[in-house]
Amino acid sequence: MRHEEHAESTPSVPAVRRGAKRRVPARERMDQIIEAVIDVLAAYGANGQGLESLTIADVARAAGVSPALVMLHFKSKDGLLEDTLRTLGSDYFRALDDARESAGPRPADRLWALVEAEFTEPVCTPRKLAAWRALWTASAGRQPYIRQFKAETVAAYNTLIELCRALIEEGAYEDRDARTVARLIDSSLAGLWIDLTDLTLPLTLNEARRIALAQLAMFFPRHFTTRGPRRQILGTDGAA
């Protein structure tokens, strides 16, 4: 990640999430507070600030509840952040799984859908990107995420390897290694996410998506153009 200098000004706290007064179930109230945390983190991330700026008071104000109620449900700031990370991470992996499974049985379609989903709603939105930025710039955000989602991260990477292996076999790419290509794709996706949150040289979602998908055509030209998967796999002579 590029080094940046950030202004010290305090970002404005998001508006209160108001609703009709009623008795709210505990889980619904916790979800409301977590959404407020994401709002506050997004405000901080957009301003180049991180977790050290987050306060329970700001979260309570954004959620329209008292600080005491936040503490009642989450016990501490760390507990609140871990639950927020759990929500963001679970939503992320669920959306990627849904995109891949809905693409059909062809490995090329599944890989394209998986990469495209990285830079499409609901995985990637300006609000979530800014929140991730605030979390990811501090070890207090990275370490809990790594602990909570190690299994999902490994499973997703293994899926990427298997898709690459299937394409290599289908397309007779004799100079390709599945693990190497999968690592290159994975590293590129991570780098593009970092660039999306870089306030110095910002990258748009459309640019990131186009770059990510273009590399598939570079690695597997018999399966992809820069516009999408080919209907028929090209032969080694370039004919369909």
239 belongs to a structural domain? no
pTM of the model: 0.81
- pLDDT in the model for residue 52: 78
pLDDT class for 37, splitting at 50, 70, 90?
very high
Indicate the burial class of 2 (C-beta count within 10 angstroms; 0-12, 13-18, 19 or more).
exposed
Q: What is the CATH number of the domain that holds 194?
A: 1.10.357.10
100 belongs to a structural domain? yes
Question: Model confidence over 88-115: pLDDT tens digits?
Answer: 999 999 999 999 999 999 999 999 999 9
d(CA 134, CA 142): 10
- pLDDT in the model for residue 97: 96
122 belongs to a structural domain? yes
d(CA 140, CA 9): 22
**Residue 195 domain boundaries:** 26-229
The torsion angle over the Cα atoms of residues 152, 146, 41 and 186, rounded to 10 degrees, is -60
* Residue with tokens 């927020």, as numbered in its chain: 84
207 belongs to a structural domain? yes
73 belongs to a structural domain? yes
236 belongs to a structural domain? no
- pLDDT in the model for residue 147: 83
Residue 190's SS3 state is helix
Q: What is the largest CA-CA distance in the chain?
A: 69
Whether the predicted pLDDT of 48 surpasses 90: no
What's the domain count of the chain? 1
Whether the predicted pLDDT of 15 surpasses 90: no
181 belongs to a structural domain? yes
187 belongs to a structural domain? yes
Is the N-terminal amide bond of 122 cis, ω within 30° of 0? yes
Buried b (16+ CB within 10 A) or exposed e, 77-87: beebbbbbbeb
Question: Model confidence over 132-161: pLDDT tens digits?
Answer: 887 776 655 567 777 889 999 999 999 999
